[in-house]
Amino acid sequence: MNVHKSFLTHLYCPECQQEFDARQIQTFCHECNSPLLAQYDFEKAKEHLNPQIVQSRLSGMWRWAELLPVHDPKYRFSLGEGDAPTLQANRLGEVLGLSSLYVKDESFNPTGTFKDRGLAMAVSKAAELGITSFVMPTAGNAGGALAAYAARAGLEANIFMPKDAPLVNRAEIQITGANLQLVDGLITDAGKQAAREAQKQGWFSISTLKEPYRLEGKKTLGLELAEFFGWELPDVVIYPTGGGTGLIGMWKAFAELETMGWIGPKRPRMVSVQASGCAPIVRAIEENASRIRFWDDAHTIAAGLRVPAVFADRLILRTLRESHGTAVSVTDQEIQSAQKQLARLEGIFAAPEGAATLAGLESLLKKDWIAPNEKVVLFNTGTGLKYVS
Ligand SMILES: *Cc1c(COP(=O)(O)O)cnc(C)c1O
Ligand SMILES: [Zn+2]
């Protein structure tokens, strides 16, 4: 059994730096309307953890327990999430003229997407803090993951999802006995309804970055990436961005690893890929803005990217700029053709969101933004099987 301690110390707001007590239930900084970030005692963590120890443990996200927020092992709920493979994509690389192309294939997670990392962590920490019922607006996959982990922990989930979300998401939510409300409109409309009900019923909102711990689960993407590449990060990471949890989480992981002396200062250039039918982050990067504006009439086949208002916009935009990265948008048609290419050349049936990273890569290669010998990682965030209806 995993008896390792957590070295979580407190939470803080990255905008006003105010500290928050992590022994109590926290949400976000209401003064700044900003997510809260978890802080750890890295000096102490280092006394208990080194790369060899992490590598000697059973596979999965909880290998990194010292750097994760749950103290009591009995609340570390798991369905086997994490440690999804990083696959070298040689045939695809050859076609694109890249010598070191990789796909981090998150379709291996229990509910078929990387949402499991965040929800496993948030549900576990919430259970440790005594929360018993959750509410969440979702484009689909996060709802499926919440439903699974709430069932695993024996807790109640109330999920608000657009009517036109993939059918598989309905099925996976309903089979767990979670309460599912179908909403006319987008995830932002689902969010409004969820917030109203949450207040009335006293449910805890586990909406993207409105609580601090989904981010800590997604952080493990960055920890695994550093480990896979021998503690020397790749040159470019291409990530399909909706709410941005994975992007911000990886960036946080890299900073923490450097603080512990496990990696040096080198960082990948971080790239956000969005769908041209909903690209508020791309627009903000092009406009050199520090906040995003609401994207009207959001539409794309990549349901996870249909996020017209992004709560953590400041953190996402800062990450992209600090890393000397960028943001690109791709059309649904480009996503579909990339999906075929990935399947035909590598046997990977990617979610449209994951395929969007390949379409984004192709557009960056046309602009000579990436050199042929650079190490490039595409994030396939989920399995294409979830979108078949
Ligand atoms: C949610 C989701 C995304 C977007 O992730 P964020 O962390 O919200 O940016 C990408 N791909 C898939 C398959 C998703 O479910
Ligand atoms: Zn603040």
Q: What are the pocket residues of ligand 1 if the criterion is a CB atom closer than 6 Å to any ligand atom?
A: 113, 115, 141-142, 208, 240-246, 304, 351, 353, 381-382
- Residue whose CA lies nearest to ligand 1 atom number 10: 304
- Residue whose CA lies nearest to ligand 1 atom number 5: 242
167 neighbors 386 (Cβ within 8 angstroms)? no
- pLDDT at residue 324, as a whole number: 98
CA–CA gap between residue 75 and residue 85 (Å, rounded): 26
Mean pLDDT value across residues 214-219: 98
- Rounded percentage of the chain residues whose pLDDT exceeds 70: 99
Which has the higher per-residue pLDDT, 307 or 1?
307
Confidence band, pLDDT 50/70/90 cuts, at residue 33? very high
- pTM attached to this predicted model: 0.97
Predicted confidence (pLDDT) per residue in 289-306, tens digit:
999 999 999 999 999 999
Q: Which fold has domain 86-113+213-387?
A: Rossmann fold (3.40.50)
Q: Pocket of ligand 1, candidates 117, 353, 378, 386: which has the most ligand atoms within 8 Å of its Cβ, to mutate?
A: 353
CA–CA gap between residue 146 and residue 135 (Å, rounded): 9
- pLDDT at residue 5, as a whole number: 94
- pLDDT at residue 2, as a whole number: 55
- Residue 284 tokens read as 């903000």
What is the 8-class DSSP label of residue 145? H
CA–CA gap between residue 244 and residue 381 (Å, rounded): 12
- Residue whose CA lies nearest to ligand 1 atom number 4: 242
User: Taking all residues of the chain, what is their mean pLDDT, rounded to a whole number?
Assistant: 96
The full set of domain ranges for the chain reads 86-113+213-387
- Residue whose CA lies nearest to ligand 1 atom number 14: 304
Spatial CA neighbour of 188 closest among 310, 352, 29, 276: 310
Predicted confidence (pLDDT) per residue in 60-79, tens digit:
999 999 999 999 999 999 99
